[in-house]
Amino acid sequence: MYYPWWYVPGLTAPMLIAVIAVIHVFVSHYAVGGGILIALENQFAVKTKDKPYRDYWHNHARFFVLLTVAFGAITGVGIWWTIALASPLATEMLIRTFVFGWAIEWVFFIVEIIAAFLMYYFWTRLPEKTHIIIAWIYALAAWISLVLITGITAFMLDSRGLFVNWNETGNFWHAFFNIQFLPQTLIRTGASILLASLYVFLHAAWLFRNVNVANDPLNTQLFNKIVQRMSRPLIFGIVTVLLGVIWWFVLLSPNVLLVMERSVLLNILLVLFFGLSGLMTLLIILGPILNPRSINIGFALCLFIFGLTALASAEFIREAVRKPWIVDQVVLGNQIYANEVKERQTTGFLRTSYWQQLPTEKVRLGGMVFMYHCNNCHATNHGLSAVGPLLYGENKEKIVETIKNLNQPNISMPPWSGTDEELDALAEFLLTVQPVN
């Protein structure tokens, strides 16, 4: 099918996806890790007959449900909306291939929603043991959803098989037997526990912000207990994420490693990720573990921002290293299947469709080639990765030569996939967005 393009001025469509996706990751990981912590701590409170501690988690559950169920669902829909517009071919391929996986995930998502509402609204109405069972049903359903989605996204980033290379793509099981599935599942599980602990720190610091040690010893004791108990899953989350990242790094393909080594930005983000992880570990030991009362709104907010920044850096690296692919070895960044490149170089990149005829004027035709071939990563003369500034001082012959060899030496670019006539038209268009003295 010949899809239309979607142009997002300045920001570009992939970056819009990234913004929405990262926000969703911050919430969806909390939905998984928070569910596990609520089940664990609720069970602990019942076992130790600690009503004040269980009441705190009832209070936290309200914040948890509002953020994860309401806002999380909205951002989740936002991701589907943006990827369907920005990368329709890749979206079609993933749905067609992994439709059974998505269907299973949607079933577990429904279980999550029902269990979340039962857990919160019937907190004091259900017998304690029944309530704990419902909390664990939610936690398990949320984690299985994470596992299912991680399998599909892991395949997008590295389609190599876990034991052997696949002979063909399009098999549902490729999502769960690809080489990156296990390390990425470990990373996301650890990140879920990590983020959930940070959310609890922030929520508790705000809730107990006016507690005075001398005048309110009971609430002070409760706050200290929350902080001390959350320090352990926080350390667990950091260690698990670091182990998963190292495992992920060891299994990277040579091409991906080369992309990372050639990118200054990715190296900076990698240093930022490990630096923030080490700093957070040090602050947690000096703060919550050794001195629970040191946690205030400012301290909790700093830890929270450090955690989000580290996770966002890891997400950016994970997505960036897959270029020039949208789906590794299957769909290229210029929205065609990898096995179509040779054919398009002969028959043409653009195809006439029932809703659109190809223009005859060369610059307009070149603009259309740009929108289909380049717009998925580049703005025109202003914005992110704008091609205009990159072409400063270049003549038409140099531009044509560069496009002919798009993926050499820049392995992050897809190969040129059109005819010489389309190449000439694209060069004419690019001259119109080139900066002038």
State pLDDT tens for residues 302-355.
999 999 999 999 999 988 888 899 999 899 998 899 999 999 999 899 876 655
Model pLDDT, residue 167: 52
Q: How many CB atoms lie within 10 A of CB 237?
A: 24
pLDDT, residue 410, reads 80
Radius of gyration of the chain (CA): 25
More confident residue, 213 or 51: 51
Q: For the segment 363-421, what is each residue's pLDDT rounded down to a tens digit?
A: 999 999 999 999 888 998 888 888 989 888 889 999 999 999 988 878 889 999 999 99
- pLDDT digits over 43-78, tens only? 999 999 999 999 999 999 999 999 998 888 888 888
**pLDDT for the residue 113:** 93
Q: With 60 as the cut, is the pLDDT of residue 428 above it?
A: yes
Distance between CA 309 and CA 194 in Å, rounded? Answer: 13
The confidence score (pLDDT) of residue 1 equals 47
Cβ-contact 414, 332 below 8 angstroms = yes
- 264-292 pLDDT, tens digit per residue, is 889 999 999 999 999 988 988 888 888 87
What pLDDT was estimated at residue 212? 66
DSSP, residue by residue, 198-212: HHHHHHHHHHTTT--
Q: How far apart are CA 344 and CA 359, in angstroms?
A: 18
Per-residue pLDDT at 127? 95
Cβ atoms within 10 Å of 48's Cβ, excluding its own: 10
373: nearest Cα among 351, 353, 356: 351
- Taking residues 145-168, what's their average pLDDT? 81
Q: What is the mean pLDDT of residues 183-203?
A: 95
Distance CA 334, CA 415 (A): 9
How far apart, in Å, are the Cα atoms of 374 and each of 10, 169, 367, 407? 14, 25, 10, 13
Burial of residue 218 (CB within 10 Å: 0-12, 13-18, 19+) is: exposed
CATH class of 13-329: mainly alpha
pLDDT tens for residues 95-149?
988 999 889 999 999 999 999 999 999 999 999 999 999 999 999 999 999 999 9
**What pTM does this model have?**
0.90
Burial of residue 340, with CB atoms counted within 10 A of its CB: 0-12 exposed, 13-18 middle, 19 or more buried? middle
How far apart (Å, rounded) are the C-alpha atoms in residues 33 and 123? Answer: 19
Question: Measuring CA to CA, which residue among 191, 88, 65 is closest to residue 138?
Answer: 65
Classify the C-alpha dihedral 189-195-200-203 as positive or negative. negative
Average pLDDT over residues 163-176: 67
Secondary structure of residue 275 in the 3-state scheme: helix
Non-local (6+) Cβ contacts of 379 within 8 A are 9, 10, 11, 12, 385, 386, 387
CATH for 338-433 is: 1.10.760
Q: Which residues contact 369 (CB under 8 A, 6 or more apart)?
A: 349, 350, 418, 422, 425, 426, 429
Question: Where exactly are the structural domains of the chain?
Answer: 13-329, 338-433
Q: What's the rounded Cα separation, in Å, for the pair 30 and 24?
A: 10
